[in-house]
Amino acid sequence: MRKKLTAQAKAKIAIEALKEQMTWAQICSKYKVNQPRINLLKKAAEESILRGFSEKTNRALSAAEEKNEELLKMLGEAQLELAWLKKKSRLFTD
């Protein structure tokens, strides 16, 4: 019967595999899991780490783009208001 692992146990196994301080056999005997499962957990952890970093970058980029759009909108409104004021001021100077 297959052993059910908690998320915490999976993380510990993946960290041990990523550290590469123990042999596969040592990790297998310590956590009572087989080598293919350790490989799967290691790959899943690597992908999760990479995804975490890329999502953080994407969120920061998205926030910067939103701020840029807001500033461009404000600039456009200011330019429109300036043009309107120039047009109205000509009425008083002519």
Query: Residue 52 falls within a domain, yes or no?
Result: yes
**Average pLDDT of the chain to the nearest whole number:** 88
The answer to whether residue 25 scores a pLDDT higher than 80 is yes
The count of other CB atoms within 10 Å of the CB of residue 5 is: 16
User: Residue 16 belongs to what domain range?
Assistant: 7-93
The count of other CB atoms within 10 Å of the CB of residue 16 is: 19
Query: Residue 1 falls within a domain, yes or no?
Result: no
Q: How far apart are CA 5 and CA 9, in angstroms?
A: 6
- HEC assignment per residue over 1-59: CCCCCCHHHHHHHHHHHHHCCCCHHHHHHHHCCCHHHHHHHHHHHHHHHHHHHHHHHHH
The predicted pLDDT at position 1 comes to 59
For the entire predicted model, the pTM comes to: 0.55
42-79, pLDDT tens digit by residue?
999 998 888 877 777 777 788 889 999 999 999 999 99
Structural domain total, the chain: 1
Query: Residue 23 falls within a domain, yes or no?
Result: yes
